[in-house]
Chain A
Amino acid sequence: MSGYILKKEDFGKFIESLKEEYEIFAPVKKKTYFVFGKVDSAEEIAFEFINTEYSPTNLFFPKKEVLFDYNNTKINNKKEDITRVIFGIRPCDVHALIIMDTLFLEANFEDTYYRKKRENTLLISLKCNSAGENCFCESMGTDKLERGYDLMFCEQGGSYVVDIGSQRGQKLINELFKSTDEECIKELHCNKKLDMQKVNQLEQFAEHEGWKKESEACLSCAACTITCPTCGCFDVVDVPNLNMAAGKRLRVNTSCQLKNFSEVAGGHVFRETRDKRFKHRIYHKLVYFKKQFDTFMCVGCGRCITNCPAGIDMVSIINSLK
């Protein structure tokens, strides 16, 4: 497809044009860090971020979501009819959504809550200008993006080079955009590298004593899975009102790092010890998921490293396995 170009000075107008039909979510600055939030104008959007503290996959799989509420025998399903545009989603996080699709749309069952949000949301991806210290997307091959976006913006000089990824994206192109032959020439290089050869041998290291040793530092706080853009484990809980006649059903994100995650009726816990839980996350990301769906469950965003209060870094752990 031939590309387009949008002058930076027209960006504000573009956002205004989107506003007529969509709610817009984009990176915004919150105190000292960046998160995705609803914005009303281009001025609110932050550009100086490497990546956001939390992934925009949260907008599709919220950490806590009301599925429905009930009153006596009446059930009210939540409406999901707002149409949204997410501007500024990084390529790795688009890859994370593609991975989540495997889980919530293409596996054995379909998750209607997720699907509706996916259908109602357009993605305008924004290429990275530079990699953060914990990014290793280059190793995972997730720095490049061939599908999954509606539009892809690439900052180049005083303009954005815009690539069309879908018909829905094409429809967003208006008179502000000029067609061009110019191409995005950005190449990203990460200082952090994951040794993929080691990753492919991980199964041989399953009983390695290193797991136990490394896990001694782990606090089992679950930050690594809660901030991971591809973790999709959840629990369903009912919250009745005190009169018991009304209440709501919630789905809440949970984590394999918690002891009660693998607890079954009768009180048996499958992954009782910390090292088993510690290893499980890494193996689910890089071994089990790959076996099941032929793709890694990690996009190299580095959030699990940045956010670990114990400074645990799975990349250096894997690289040093011997």
Chain B
Amino acid sequence: MLLNVEKALGNIFSKLDFVYFPLIKRENELKKYDFCFIEGAVTNKEQVKLIKHLRKKSRFVVAFGTCATYGGIASIQDFENETLAEEVYGSKISRISDTVQGIGNYINVDYYMRGCPVIKDELLKTIDFFEQMKIPPDYELPVCVECRKKGNRCLLAVDHLPCMGAITYGGCDALCTSQGIPCQGCRGPLPSANVDARVKVFEKFGMSKEDIRRRFIKFAGTSKKFRRILKEL
């Protein structure tokens, strides 16, 4: 994703010195870092060790993307039973991952850059803040606000589609709903999200418990907000 901001890339490279970036560099030194962007979920003990090490050496740690924040799509496995894994992989294969979690479960995180994928503008803004040795504020805004500002008709209120917009962190500029696709909740639940009310609305529109569960598990089932409601459902 970082390499995807073509236009600003030159500018970024002139500001930041990439010392550890296995994806683009052959030699990666592990000394001390001002900023550490960690991408992907944590799935085994070695990874826990690595991120603890990175934490110690870094001034700021960013959870980069929904996987690093909540475990993301892969974390669905934590909510499924073993038989499903066996059906897919067979019983003989040895799995390298145990539980799929965001990095915040193991280390202190300074900034969560949510999204699947993360949004270019947010990335650039974060680099701006870091340049001044500041952490960007966590802006609590539901997707609905951005969706409404774009002049969309509400997929939930009018068409009764299972949109997660009202309880999900905005910042994506309502990417999905503007295309008529209900929000999947990829940026995770807002701290102020009224999850119980959301369940009631889904039930009112005729969604089954199983379908509602799936909605919550998809990206951020490991978040506190969703974990609680998943226990109740």
Q: Which residues of A contact B (CB under 8 A)?
A: 30-33, 35, 53-54, 58, 63-64, 216-223, 226-227, 240, 242-244, 252-253, 255, 258-260, 274, 306-311
Contact = CB atoms under 8 A, between A and B. Distances in A.
9 closest residue pairs by CB, A with B: A221-B166, A221-B144, A219-B166, A63-B149, A226-B148, A309-B157, A309-B156, A259-B192, A33-B153
A63 B192 CA distance: 23
A64 B192 CA distance: 24
Contacts of B11: 242-243
Which DSSP category, helix, strand, loop or mixed, fits chain A's interface? loop
A259 B149 contact: no
B157 to A, nearest CB: 4
B197 A219 contact: yes
Given A63-B149, A226-B149, A309-B154, A242 B197 contact: no
Contacts of B72: none
A54 B141 CA distance: 20
A64 B149 contact: yes
26 contacts: A33-B153, A33-B158, A58-B151, A64-B149, A216-B194, A217-B197, A217-B200, A219-B144, A219-B198, A220-B192, A220-B194, A223-B148, A226-B149, A242-B8, A242-B12, A242-B124, A258-B140, A260-B139, A260-B141, A274-B192, A307-B158, A308-B157, A309-B156, A309-B157, A310-B197, A311-B204
A222 B124 contact: no
A31 B153 contact: yes
B194 A274 contact: yes
A226 B166 contact: no
Contacts of A310: 197, 200-201
A322 to B, nearest CB: 24
Given A219-B201, A223-B154, A260 B128 contact: no
B149 A218 contact: no
A258 B141 contact: yes
A53 to B, nearest CB: 6
A255 B149 CA distance: 12
Contacts of B229: none
Contacts, number: 94
A311 B156 CA distance: 10
B145 A309 contact: no
Interface residues of B, number: 33
Contacts of B201: 219, 309-311
B144 A242 contact: no
A258 B8 CA distance: 32
A308 B166 CA distance: 11
Given A220-B192, A242-B124, A227 B197 contact: no
Q: Which of A30, A308, A309 has the most CB of B within 10 A?
A: A309
A310 B194 CA distance: 11
Contacts of A308: 157
Given A242-B8, A255-B145, A216 B197 contact: yes
A85 B162 CA distance: 39
Contact of B194 (A33, A64, A219, A243): A219
B142 interface: yes
Contact of A307 (B139, B149, B154): B154
A222 B8 contact: no
Given A219-B193, A220-B192, A223-B144, 18 more contacts: A35-B151, A54-B151, A58-B151, A63-B149, A216-B194, A217-B197, A219-B198, A220-B142, A221-B144, A226-B148, A242-B11, A242-B127, A274-B192, A307-B154, A309-B144, A309-B157, A309-B163, A311-B204
Nearest to B165: A221
B132 to A, nearest CB: 9
Contacts of A63: 148-149, 151
A313 to B, nearest CB: 12
Contacts of A35: 151
Nearest to A254: B145
B217 interface: no
A218 B154 contact: no
Contacts of B192: 220, 259, 274
A240 B8 CA distance: 14
A240 B129 CA distance: 11
Interface in B146-185: 148-149, 151, 153-154, 156-158, 163, 165-167
